[in-house]
A and B are shown apart, each in its own frame.
Chain A
Amino acid sequence: MYPDLKKTIPIDTIGVEERVSRLNKRSIKKESKVQGLKLALSMIDHTTLEGKDSPGKVKQLCQKAKMPYAPLPDLPTVAAVCVYPNMVSIAKEALKNSNVNVASVATAFPSGMAQLQVKLDDTKYAVDQGADEIDMVISRGEFLKGNYSFIFDEIAAIKEACGDAHLKVILETGELETLTNVRKASDIAMHAGADFIKTSTGKISPAATQPVTLVMLEAIRDYYRETGRMVGMKPAGGIRKAKQALQYLVLVKETLGAQWLSKDWFRFGASSLTNDLLMQIVKQETGVYQSNIYFSND
């Protein structure tokens, strides 16, 4: 159902930033910190989206996804591995008999500059290859022109092409200029059937920021109150440190409640965050500050 955009609330940028900085002052220590770090680890979409990706690299990435750090075998696995469509079958094979999902970007990622038919084919190909989750990009050009119904129809069409696969809609907030636009795009995506809304491709700077995430989380909350349907959230790009990850978890808890604190409803799109989380977890276990050289690079 198409949302009434006249009712989109304008966003108070200063207010959002102040709320974020207030929430960032929460101090999380000891057991709760360890719990938070492990939760964050279980929410990662371990990602490689480079032109030079090879089957070998994807296999290594999957190995790390299943067993993030061999000396601590009880750690949770990451939530999913995120790759380009032509790497999906390799990841699927490497991850069989594990509970790690395969996510694939599709729809002419990262620019989204292609015909709808091309995007649909791209999506169907990824699903046929075995992707459990599809990360699509919206046409930012059309959005900025004000062609909102185009975006709505596009998302609805891709959702249909996904079948059983979960659909994450990338808004690429770094190109949407204002927080009010972010709110509008979030509303459109959710009404068009998105299972998750996601901040960024990771190819544009700024990528995920906390103010943008807060605006999207509030959109999810309002949508949930209106329709009763839960939608997930995925900030992606630029989240490299465990400390940032914990700050994001606080935002989620304070905006949406504990119900959303699970990998089913919240994900981090990241690659280097995994190692920093592992280093912090090992620091908590041993009391000794860690070095990157003792952790695999994948």
Chain B
Amino acid sequence: MSDRIDVLKTYKTYVAGKFPRSESGHTYAVKNKKDKTVANACRCTRKDVRDAVVAARSAFSEWSSRSAYNRGQILYRIAEMLEGRKDQFVEELELLDIKKKDAVKEVELSVDRLVYYAGWTDKISQVFGTVNPVASQHFNFSMPDATGVVGITSPQESPLLGLISTIAPVIAGGNVCVVLSSEKYPLPAVSFGEVLHASDVPGGVVNILTGYQKEMIDHLSSHMDVNGILNTNSEKNIRKQIDENSSLSVKRTYHLTENNWIETEHENPYYILNFQEIKTTWHPIGV
């Protein structure tokens, strides 16, 4: 009885704190380096992008008004939960033919990176906020503030570490995001959704879609309700398309391409600052 047919898992998406399938019901086969199908993932399209942006927008006001300290606690909680499910993530990376040694390293670095950004949440405004000298009777100060909904195209390689290195600084700063996961290796992204679900992150703060990035990037980057784009896709045409679409509603747009996500340069408070707006207040003071 050894010729049993394996039951392959169909990985679902993570939107608004739930795990829906793609609106169209389409899936695609996820293959390892030897071209063997290891699982199925949802092939999301335009309408899934639309729903994810709506979910993100409705989560924004609550998440951005949480105290920075509380956001730090929640990011730390994600790290804890990820640590607890280390074995599962190592297995999933191995399934995609990543060597065990490298897989362990990737998961551990991911946990550390979350802890790193958890620490920064309540320090950003002290470090980057300023008190400005002005000539009039005003107390004048500038503070970084969350931008809004950020679209993220997740890196193809380093499917877990690259994902976390892009999401963590964005949500640490009080933003919410819609993530297009790695096309080749979407499994860790969806499992990471399960971790988020179990770690006090309000539904809608992180939304993870799987599928062909090309089918979704146009709709995500042109969406007027998206306020920023963090792109890791290095294809020239895609970069151009994102830049052109972003100009429609003047989105904060950053391209982080050709990266080695293992490098410690990705632990960097300026990545939080990329999606912050500086707000200046003029407060009258007595004579």
Interface stretch of the complex, out of A15-23, A144-152, A202-210, A283-291: A283-291
CB-defined contacts of A290 to chain B, threshold 8 Å: 224-225
CB-defined contacts of A294 to chain B, threshold 8 Å: 224
Q: How far is the CB of B115 from chain A (nearest CB, A)?
A: 34
| C-alpha gap A293/B57 in the complex (Å) | 11
Q: Is the CB of A289 within 8 A of B249?
A: no
Q: How far is the CB of B61 from chain A (nearest CB, A)?
A: 13
Q: Does B256 contact A (CB under 8 A)?
A: no
| C-alpha gap A289/B57 in the complex (Å) | 13
Q: Is the CB of B223 within 8 A of A292?
A: no
Closest to B245 in A: A288
For chain A, give the interface size range: under 10
Per-residue interface assignment for chain A, residues 250 to 294, with 1 indicating a CB less than 8 Å from any chain B CB and 0 otherwise: 000000000000000000000000000000000000011111111
Q: How far is the CB of B247 from chain A (nearest CB, A)?
A: 12
Q: Is the CB of A292 within 8 A of B225?
A: yes
Q: Does B219 contact A (CB under 8 A)?
A: yes
CB-defined contacts of A291 to chain B, threshold 8 Å: 57, 223-225, 249
Q: Is the CB of B225 within 8 A of A288?
A: no
| C-alpha gap A289/B51 in the complex (Å) | 11
Closest to A279 in B: B224
Q: How far is the CB of A252 from chain B (nearest CB, A)?
A: 26
8 Å CB interface, B221-251 against A: 222-225, 248-249
Q: How far is the CB of B90 from chain A (nearest CB, A)?
A: 38
Q: How far is the CB of A280 from chain B (nearest CB, A)?
A: 11
CB-defined contacts of B50 to chain A, threshold 8 Å: 289
CB-defined contacts of A288 to chain B, threshold 8 Å: 222-224, 248
Closest to A290 in B: B224
CB-defined contacts of A292 to chain B, threshold 8 Å: 225
Residue of A287, A293, A294 most packed against chain B (CB within 10 A):
A293
Q: Does B53 contact A (CB under 8 A)?
A: yes
Q: How far is the CB of A297 from chain B (nearest CB, A)?
A: 15
| C-alpha gap A202/B223 in the complex (Å) | 32
Q: How far is the CB of B260 from chain A (nearest CB, A)?
A: 34
Closest to B50 in A: A289
| C-alpha gap A293/B249 in the complex (Å) | 11
Closest to A294 in B: B224
CB-defined contacts of B224 to chain A, threshold 8 Å: 288-291, 294
| C-alpha gap A290/B222 in the complex (Å) | 9
Closest to B227 in A: A291
| C-alpha gap A287/B245 in the complex (Å) | 12
| C-alpha gap A290/B50 in the complex (Å) | 10
| C-alpha gap A291/B222 in the complex (Å) | 11
A–B complex contacts, Cβ < 8 Å, 22 sampled = A287-B222, A288-B222, A288-B223, A288-B224, A288-B248, A289-B50, A289-B53, A289-B219, A289-B222, A289-B223, A289-B224, A289-B225, A290-B224, A290-B225, A291-B57, A291-B223, A291-B224, A291-B225, A291-B249, A292-B225, A293-B225, A294-B224
The 6 closest A-B CB pairs, nearest first, are A291-B225, A291-B224, A289-B223, A288-B222, A290-B224, A289-B50
A288-B222, A288-B223 known; 15 new pairs, CB 8 Å cut-off, are A287-B222, A288-B224, A288-B248, A289-B50, A289-B53, A289-B222, A289-B223, A290-B225, A291-B57, A291-B223, A291-B224, A291-B249, A292-B225, A293-B225, A294-B224
